Amino acid sequence: MLAGIVLSLAGCAGSGRLSGTALCETAGGTYTGGTCSRWGPAQQAAHDVCETSGGVYLGGQEQCAFGTGGP
Protein backbone atom coordinates (compact mmCIF):
# COMPACT_ATOMS: atom_id res chain seq x y z
CA MET A 1 0.00 0.00 0.00
CA LEU A 2 2.78 2.44 0.89
CA ALA A 3 4.44 1.76 -2.47
CA GLY A 4 1.20 2.78 -4.18
CA ILE A 5 1.17 6.05 -2.30
CA VAL A 6 4.79 6.75 -3.20
CA LEU A 7 4.22 5.89 -6.85
CA SER A 8 1.08 8.00 -7.09
CA LEU A 9 2.86 11.01 -5.61
CA ALA A 10 6.14 10.47 -7.45
CA GLY A 11 4.89 12.47 -10.41
CA CYS A 12 4.21 15.56 -8.32
CA ALA A 13 6.62 18.35 -9.07
CA GLY A 14 7.21 21.89 -8.02
CA SER A 15 7.24 23.50 -4.61
CA GLY A 16 4.44 21.21 -3.39
CA ARG A 17 6.78 18.21 -3.01
CA LEU A 18 6.51 16.12 0.11
CA SER A 19 9.53 14.83 1.99
CA GLY A 20 10.07 11.13 2.66
CA THR A 21 9.22 11.80 6.30
CA ALA A 22 5.92 13.46 5.40
CA LEU A 23 4.96 10.69 2.97
CA CYS A 24 5.73 8.01 5.53
CA GLU A 25 3.90 9.70 8.38
CA THR A 26 0.89 10.40 6.16
CA ALA A 27 0.70 6.65 5.46
CA GLY A 28 0.80 5.90 9.19
CA GLY A 29 4.46 4.96 9.39
CA THR A 30 7.60 6.07 11.17
CA TYR A 31 10.52 7.38 9.11
CA THR A 32 13.92 6.56 10.62
CA GLY A 33 17.34 6.30 9.01
CA GLY A 34 15.96 6.69 5.49
CA THR A 35 13.43 3.86 5.93
CA CYS A 36 9.68 3.99 6.39
CA SER A 37 8.25 1.38 8.74
CA ARG A 38 4.60 0.73 9.54
CA TRP A 39 5.27 -2.00 12.10
CA GLY A 40 2.81 -1.90 14.97
CA PRO A 41 0.69 -4.18 17.15
CA ALA A 42 -1.37 -5.55 14.22
CA GLN A 43 1.75 -6.43 12.22
CA GLN A 44 3.37 -8.02 15.27
CA ALA A 45 0.28 -10.17 15.89
CA ALA A 46 0.22 -11.27 12.23
CA HIS A 47 3.94 -12.06 12.40
CA ASP A 48 3.51 -14.13 15.56
CA VAL A 49 0.56 -16.16 14.20
CA CYS A 50 2.37 -16.77 10.92
CA GLU A 51 5.66 -17.86 12.49
CA THR A 52 3.85 -20.06 15.05
CA SER A 53 2.05 -21.79 12.15
CA GLY A 54 5.35 -22.58 10.40
CA GLY A 55 5.24 -19.74 7.91
CA VAL A 56 7.50 -16.80 7.20
CA TYR A 57 5.94 -13.38 7.62
CA LEU A 58 6.74 -11.02 4.75
CA GLY A 59 6.21 -7.69 6.45
CA GLY A 60 6.66 -5.51 3.40
CA GLN A 61 3.91 -7.43 1.63
CA GLU A 62 1.89 -8.16 4.77
CA GLN A 63 1.67 -11.85 3.79
CA CYS A 64 2.46 -15.18 5.41
CA ALA A 65 4.37 -17.51 3.09
CA PHE A 66 4.42 -21.29 3.42
CA GLY A 67 6.73 -23.71 1.61
CA THR A 68 8.31 -21.20 -0.75
CA GLY A 69 11.99 -20.86 -1.56
CA GLY A 70 14.83 -22.86 -0.09
CA PRO A 71 16.52 -26.02 -1.39
In this predicted model, what pLDDT tens digit does every residue of 1-38 receive, in sequence order?
444 444 444 444 444 677 888 888 887 788 888 888 87
If one counts the domains in the chain, the total is 1
pLDDT tier at 59, thresholds 50, 70, 90: confident
Residue 50 scores a pLDDT above 90:
yes
Q: Rounded to 5, what percent of the chain is helix, strand, coil? A: 40, 15, 45
Residue 52 φ/ψ, nearest 5 degrees: -65, -30
Higher-pLDDT residue of 65, 35: 65
| Domain-embedded: residue 31 | yes
| Domain-embedded: residue 70 | no
| Domain-embedded: residue 32 | yes
| Domain-embedded: residue 71 | no
Q: How would you classify residue 68: left for phi > 0, otherwise alpha for psi between -120 and 50, otherwise beta?
A: beta
Confidence at residue 8, expressed as pLDDT on a 0 to 100 scale:
44
Residue 64 scores a pLDDT above 70:
yes
What is the extent of the structural domain holding 41? 2-7+18-65
CA angle 26, 41, 52 (to 5 degrees): 135
| Domain-embedded: residue 58 | yes
**Which residues, listed in sequence order, are joined to residue 56 by a DSSP beta bridge?**
65
Contact 60, 36 (CB under 8 A): no
